[in-house]
Amino acid sequence: MSRRCMVTGKMQMSGNNVSHAQNKTRRKFNPSVNDQGIYSEVLGKTVRLRVGPNGLRTIEHKGGLDVWLTSTAKTKLPVELQKVKAQIEKKLESQGKAAPKKPMAAKKPTQKKPNVSARLAKKKAAKTAAK
């Protein structure tokens, strides 16, 4: 079983332990990867994934497993998740629904600042009018 996150692709890294005397010994840095069951609303069951904390946060940020899988390119997914993605798309197609999308938060209107040169021109005009 590989120590690799199925979502982010994070995997084992190598480096050195460095002592106070600067002695270097090789070591491995293992990612915090665990088997997690994540619920798929479209399939109606849990899907087992090997993910780390950042992978879980990514899935939650995108709006759930179904939204994340349908919005991610097939080439970026491991073989196991490509099969799950195909099942989700097939189920959505049979139901006649489009791919689920993340609910968008309402954007606040942003007020643009006027151009710097336009502000300076206004200041100069105000000074000349005051004289």
Summarize pLDDT for 71-115 with one digit per residue, the tens: 999 999 999 999 999 999 999 999 887 766 666 665 666 666 656
In the prediction, which pLDDT does 97 show?
77
Q: Is residue 1 predicted with pLDDT exceeding 70?
A: no
pLDDT band at 41 (very low <50, low <70, confident <90, very high): very high
Q: Which domain holds residue 41?
A: 1-14+27-103
CATH number of the domain to which 50 belongs: 2.30.170
Rounded Cα distance, 32 and 27, in Å: 16
> Could you tell me if residue 73 is inside a domain?
yes
Q: Is 32 helix (H, G, I), strand (E, B) or coil?
A: coil
pLDDT band at 35 (very low <50, low <70, confident <90, very high): very high
